[in-house]
Structure 1
Amino acid sequence: MAKLVVFELVFVALVVAFASAQKTIIPLSSTRENTLARTCGERIRGRNFNFCHSYVARALPQKGPPVPGQKERLQELQKQCCKQVKEFTQECQCDAVKELYLQVKLQGGQPMEQVRQIVQKLPDTCKLQITQCQIPSRV
């Protein structure tokens, strides 16, 4: 009788352990995506996008007559901004573009809808391997 009770207790413990294990299984793709997102965030956080900030500020419509050399300066800033974004792996480039948008937003003083449009075009402007990067209008 004692052997039967011990057997039942072991059986119940195995069933409970198996049921617990079933609840903690995480699909590999979710784990990879979470790790990738965390890794991108760590790489991007605190990064200085100084050329991109300057590019966005100068790409906004300007008041008054054009300044001599303005177009060339804008092209140079765009080139340097693209270089900054391309420093990240393809998987992290959209996150880098979104971080740039958030940094400009935190600085304030810019018309954010126009900033969003400029930043959202960066993947195409910079010929990145990502085709698009959606930046919600309410970030």
Structure 2
Amino acid sequence: MANLTVLSLALASLVAFTTAHTTIVTTIIEDENPISEQRQCSQQLQGQRLNECDMYFMKGMTIDEGYSIPMRRPEEVIQQACCKELQNVDEKCQCEAVKQLFQEALQMVKQQQSVPIFGSQRQKIQKLKQRAQILPNVCNFQSKRCEIRTITTTITESNMERE
């Protein structure tokens, strides 16, 4: 009788084992190396000239605004021309292109800080950042948002007379 119980338990466990479903969960951790990707994008962008995008970022920011014929075009026209240029950039590098364009324009604004004709430096930087942030959506990038980081430093000069 004990043998029959052992045999029936063994048979029951064998049936249960063969009808059980095996589920294998595989977790793939994609090692994204943003530094490597950024380097690849920088190399790709190095050979490309994005003139329309430069104009898009700098419209209204520079002294030669009144003298530059291409700058007289409406902003939307320049923006769409910039989008066309960015379509020639690899999709994974489009955000990096916007970031580089933003950084280049930011450097120009900082170099012209002594010329307050077209507004304060802070206003210009905000305008540049806004343009950089809306461009991915306007151009229908796969990634509709690019992380644009700015570090704003405020320099206060005070002229103190010595008595």
Range of TM-score over shorter length: 0.5 to 0.7
- Is 2:99 the counterpart of 1:98? yes
Quote the Cα distance in structure 2 between the aligned partners of 1:30 and 1:56: 30
Q: For residue 36 of structure 1, report the CA deviation from its aligned partner.
A: 2.7
- Indicate the SS of the match to 2:31: helix
Quote the Cα distance in structure 1 between the aligned partners of 2:105 and 2:47: 13
Aligned to 1:8: none
C-alpha spacing 1:90/1:56, structure 2 compared with 1 (3 Å): same
Quote the Cα distance in structure 2 between the aligned partners of 1:118 and 1:34: 25
Q: For residue 97 of structure 1, report the CA deviation from its aligned partner.
A: 0.4
Quote the Cα distance in structure 2 between the aligned partners of 1:28 and 1:133: 20
Unaligned runs of 5+ in 2: 1-28, 62-70, 113-120, 153-163
Q: Is the 8 A contact 1:51 1:77 kept in 2?
A: yes
- Is 2:150 the counterpart of 1:137? yes
C-alpha spacing 1:113/1:39, structure 2 compared with 1 (3 Å): same
Tell me which amino acid in the other structure corresponds to 2:87.
K
CA distances 1:98-121 after superposition (whole Å, capped 9, x unpaired): 000011012224611111111111
User: TM-score, normalising length from structure 2?
Assistant: 0.53
Quote the Cα distance in structure 2 between the aligned partners of 1:71 and 1:121: 21
- Indicate the SS of the match to 2:74: helix
Unaligned runs of 5+ in 1: 1-26, 61-69
More helix by share: 1
C-alpha spacing 1:72/1:96, structure 2 compared with 1 (3 Å): same
Q: Is the 8 A contact 1:94 1:133 kept in 2?
A: yes
Aligned to 2:59: 58
Aligned to 2:140: 127
Aligned to 1:48: 49
* Aligned residues with identical type, % of pairs: 25
Quote the Cα distance in structure 2 between the aligned partners of 1:122 and 1:46: 21
Q: Is the 8 A contact 1:59 1:74 kept in 2?
A: no
User: TM-score, normalising length from structure 1?
Assistant: 0.61
- Indicate the SS of the match to 1:121: helix
Tell me which amino acid in the other structure corresponds to 1:120.
Q
Quote the Cα distance in structure 2 between the aligned partners of 1:59 and 1:28: 43
Quote the Cα distance in structure 1 between the aligned partners of 2:72 and 2:142: 26
Q: For residue 28 of structure 1, report the CA deviation from its aligned partner.
A: 7.0
Higher Cα Rg: structure 1 or 2?
Answer: 2
Aligned residue pairs, count:
103
- Indicate the SS of the match to 2:98: helix
- Indicate the SS of the match to 1:29: coil
Q: Is the 8 A contact 2:57 2:101 kept in 1?
A: no
Over the residues paired in the alignment, what is the CA RMSD in angstroms?
2.7
